[in-house]
Chains A and B, each alone.
Chain A
Amino acid sequence: MTTRGRPSPIAWLLAPAALLFVLFFVLPFGVMAAMSVFSGNPVNNPNAFLTTRHYERFVFDTAGIYHDALWATLRIGLITTIISLLIGYPLAHWMARMQSRLGHALVLMAVIAPMLTGIVVRTFAWMTILQDKGVINTLLIQWGLTDKPLPLMYNEFGTIVALVHIYVPFMVLTLTGVIGRIDERLEQAARSLGAGRLRAFVEVTLPLSLPGILAGSLLVFALSISAYVTPSLMGGTDVLTLPMLIAQQVGTSFNPNFAGALGVILLLVSLAIVIAYNRILARLSGEQGLA
């Protein structure tokens, strides 16, 4: 990106983003990865030595909770992503094809409105709805439909409900942009050649919107597997995810080295899933490297 040895204007424009990436991702990740292979903090503990024990602790899992936590993290991420996609896709499609500008603006506002409230507030709102003395259980008991409160909270169900509510807007906004750019006439052409509404959607619109599905899914999956507040508040003791374990190790067990190892493991596993997902979607759409 240089012109006769001088950086081009594009390079200057990219510099702040690159600097942010290095300062707030590469550097912290490097520190975390380095800490994960030491017995203590090598900066202020001269006796800290190189070790693989934190990774061994996870791999051999003699405590019997780490593998479960990883699986729970991925399971919650996958289910949240799938439900967000199922809810978000029809909504995004409707928004993208809406003729009325006012209607589009109103739906867009409805989608964005929850994002104006913090995640903690939205999670507490779900707690007041789903807890034993919450809105749903109180009504069900009052109406005589049940005599005991339904277990709507302090489990994976409640966690996923709250996560889906929080992350659906990310899916909708990502998909709306992609679907909006698909030429409607392609679908019309398919229908004029005899395809039904469903077949035209499945064979034309859906494949063309795969980049949006990929981008939205990756965004929601990444946010879900790294969520801390919502699983902590909504999950009770039934839900233990890796971000919760990492926070525990840093904040109450004061073991940043094992927390670093858990962070590296979560990142590597997530990367493997993202690469596999990318390849599967690329194969489905007949292209290579969608993302």
Chain B
Amino acid sequence: MISRRKALHAGAGLAVLATVGAPSILHAQTKTLKITTWGGKWGEVMKGTVLPAFEKEFKCTVSADQAFPFVPKLQASSKNDPIYDVLHTNSNEQWNSFTEGLVMEKITAKEVPNVADVYPYAVSDKIVGVTIFTSAIGLGYRTDKGLTKPTSWKDLADPKLAGARGGYIIPVNSLGQAHLMMLGKVYGKGLTDLDAAYKALEALKPIKLVDFTGQMEKMLLSGEVSEGVIHDSGVYRYEGQNQPVDFAGPSEGVLALEQVLNVTPGSKVKELGFAYIDYMLRPDIQKMLAEAVWYSPANKKVKLDAKYDAKLLTTEAKVATLIQPDWKWYNARKEDIDARVTKILKG
């Protein structure tokens, strides 16, 4: 026979078990979406506003990884249980991931309804996944050095800029890689004319080279570089801060630096992944992020405030100036290109 004391003990034990176990039971019922995302201002808006609203609406939790590099981590995880459900990277990395079977090829309006409203470049044959924003890669320049506003990519080769022009360490930076292809177009037969590109690159020496765009921003702001390759958002974000820098889109066209989302084929919450991409393409979310970080939204229906609308790529005509590199072609030759440009730029 169970005594009163034993019954109380057993009851207390059950209560403790229930208290301890409850969160895990609750957790098991709540789906978790694992994504990658940028840090900085973008990360602040995402973590402060965008993701909490998504979690509330879709009754899920989002685990966002901001620690680069993302693709090697995806490579190292199992394809059947990938470390990410949604991969957010630039286009070149999406192509690498797709080649290894780590992400899907296309995201269509069938899975993500808002894809029906994006500009054609966002789902062109140069894209795997879907582009949610783009920046324009052009030339950033100091306005206090007596320089005329650049109108052509060739302006970067002006002898006056020797030692004061800026570019990227091509093997590690996609802006540098895109610029190399642009040199092929401007000085040769097209984006894939590597011989012309190498020759033009040699002519840009002496040039200050950096690893990432944040460094280029600092070089322009400090005056270490007077003119350099940079994306528009990297310059426009200093608007209103009284900085003597501006952005110029060369007449030959600006290069697209796409922000691409894609779903991993082995994701256990693929539908939630599609819902997240759809959510990121909603006009209100696009407007909020575009105005926070000066990215051009991919959704045609987005209406930005006049200040942003004047500078970002928000019409069919402006979007037509975008040139999308063929990253599949580039990635297939990357090792050879890396070796060649390393030798060219050394010394």
Report which A residues bind B (CB closer than 8 A). 41, 43-45, 63-65, 131-133, 149, 154, 232-233, 236-238, 240, 247-248, 250-256
Contact = CB atoms under 8 A, between A and B. Distances in A.
Given A237-B345, A252-B172, A44 B339 contact: no
Given A65-B343, A236-B208, A236-B209, A251 B69 contact: yes
Contacts of A44: 77-79
B163 interface: yes
Interface of B: 68-69, 71-72, 75-79, 96, 100, 163, 169, 171-173, 208-209, 211, 222-224, 334-336, 338-339, 342-343, 345-347
7 contacts: A63-B335, A237-B342, A238-B347, A251-B69, A252-B173, A254-B71, A256-B72
Contact of A237 (B71, B76, B96, B346): B346
B346 A240 contact: yes
Nearest to B169: A237
A111 to B, nearest CB: 31
Nearest to A44: B79
Majority secondary structure, A binding face: loop
A202 B258 CA distance: 65
Nearest to B224: A133
A64 B72 contact: no
A64 B347 contact: no
B340 to A, nearest CB: 8
A269 B343 CA distance: 24
Contact of A253 (B68, B76, B169, B334): B334
Contacts, number: 66
A208 B112 CA distance: 74
A252 B171 contact: yes
B343 A64 contact: yes
Contacts of A254: 71-72, 75, 96, 100
Nearest to B215: A233
Given A44-B77, A252-B69, 17 more contacts: A41-B75, A43-B78, A45-B100, A63-B336, A63-B338, A63-B339, A64-B343, A131-B224, A154-B208, A233-B211, A240-B342, A248-B171, A248-B172, A248-B338, A251-B68, A252-B172, A253-B335
A216 to B, nearest CB: 31
Nearest to A131: B224
Instruction: With a 10 A CB-CB cut-off, give which of A131, A237, A255 has the most chain B CB atoms.
Output: A237
B72 A250 contact: yes
